[in-house]
Structure 1
Amino acid sequence: MNISIGLPADIPGVKGELLLEWARRADGSAFSSLGVTDRVVYPNYEPLITLAAAASVTKRIRLMTAVLLAPLRRTALLAKQAASLDALSNGRLTLGLGVGVREDDFLAVEASFRDRGKRFDQQLALLTQIWSGQPVSGTMGEVGPVPVQPGGPELLMGGYSQRASERIARWCNGALVGVGGGGPEMVRQSLEMTRKAWQEAGRPGKPRLVVTSHYALGPNVTDWVNRTVRDYYAFLGPAVAQVAAGVRTTPETLRSLVQEFADMGVDELLLWPCIPELDQISRLEDAIAKVPH
């Protein structure tokens, strides 16, 4: 199982210089991917622009949105932006997509919250069409550039529902599931749904399975978790306490998490930092160094 690390780009007040240095250090480590999240009504950095900046200071590490909320964006422009980033990074983009659950984001961009699922289905079809080089209906030609990865960037999808699993089986390379407040058991159930839908759709091989979770190591972890996780997930109301409780704050609990998901057959574990300090990179490396994964 590969281990990846998130950029603290969704922690309010983080400076761009820190994000670039974080990307450089992650690129020089053994982490497989560098992840970013997506919101509109929140003081986070826009994910595709952030990954483009990270691409300019890295050579090896993959660049992942986990997840980008596709229904907030114009589809052809999203396809062009993603293909451009894939080309500029020499094929390192993994595009994790989601439908979105916060209505304020949709209000801000004047998009329909109610019809987001239907729109998402249409977007998946059009993204695939554009990346394969087919012209968009009603246009004079292709929407380029051509992605480095044949057929477009690696496509993952978030979600816990049967509908999400069916979308993954039809359009994607795999699933991207957050631990959140449901814990590993909810992740296990979601991944099983995806595997079953994949088989029923007649897809060859196996879906790629990526899981995300949060961590914070060192002093004052409780303060940081309260300032970051509780703030970001405040829309959940009382349920935010479950998410905060799921943050791994000791090397021991992190090692246990890594082992559990490795045993579950997860392909990649992406760990989100709750503390925007560069030592979180080395602390994470040290914590999981001796865990077989």
Structure 2
Amino acid sequence: IARAGRLADGFLASGTNPEAVETLYQMAVDAWDAAGKPGKPRLAAVCSYALGPNAAGVVGDYIRDYYSFLGPVAEQMAQNAVSSTEAVTGMIHDLEGIGMDELVFLPTAAEMGQLDRLADIIG
């Protein structure tokens, strides 16, 4: 994160825990300030999701596999995965509340309908 403060235009956090993302954002802002850069860094996040039938299972399996190197933390991340309309809108709201500038939704189900379902929710 210190390197991002010195060299980058912003910081991209991954995860669905707004409290953890907020901590990372603050570290990025502190690194930015320590580097003497004007203004503030662009704060972005990436959120893995699945919507539709068996969405929780699909996104959970993806997260468990992708983050398996984290051990038990991967299971915790899978339990908090975004897999419903309420979770999508809640994630947007929560991350906007901590200063997020941009949110990238990463579909974890291999079907084009995921993008349509997400578009139906966020417009």
Structure 2: which 5+ residue stretches go unaligned? Answer: none
Give 1:219 deviation, angstroms. 0.3
Give 1:170 deviation, angstroms. 1.2
Q: Higher relative contact order by CA 8 Å / sep ≥ 6: 1 or 2?
A: 2
CA–CA separation in structure 1 for the residues paired with 2:104 and 2:15: 10
Is 1:273 matched up with 2:123? no
Is 1:185 matched up with 2:15? no
- What corresponds to 2:46 in structure 1? 212
Corresponding residue pairs, total: 123
Give the one of 239, 242, 247 matched to 2:81. 247
CA RMSD of aligned residues (A): 1.5
- What corresponds to 1:167 in structure 2? 3
Deviation by residue 1:198-254 (Cα, 9 ceiling, x = unmatched): 122210121111111111100011332344222222222222211111211110111
- What corresponds to 2:30 in structure 1? 196
Is 1:176 matched up with 2:38? no
Alignment of 1:256-271 (within 5 A): 256-271=90-105
Structure 1: which 5+ residue stretches go unaligned? Answer: 1-163
Secondary structure, aligned partner of 2:76: helix
Give 1:263 deviation, angstroms. 1.9
Q: Give, as a single letter, the amino acid of the residue that structure 1 aligns with 2:75.
A: A
Secondary structure, aligned partner of 2:74: helix
Shift in CA distance, 197/220, structure 1 to aligned 2, threshold 3 Å: same
Counterpart contact for 1:251–1:288, Cα < 8 Å: no
- What corresponds to 1:286 in structure 2? 120
TM-score, L = length of structure 1: 0.40
Counterpart contact for 1:179–1:211, Cα < 8 Å: yes
TM-score, L = length of structure 2: 0.90
Is 1:238 matched up with 2:66? no
Shift in CA distance, 238/200, structure 1 to aligned 2, threshold 3 Å: closer
Regions of 4+ moved over 6 Å: none
Counterpart contact for 1:214–1:246, Cα < 8 Å: no
CA–CA separation in structure 2 for the residues paired with 1:168 and 1:236: 22
Counterpart contact for 2:50–2:82, Cα < 8 Å: yes
CA–CA separation in structure 1 for the residues paired with 2:101 and 2:55: 28
Q: Percent identity?
A: 38
Give 1:268 deviation, angstroms. 0.7
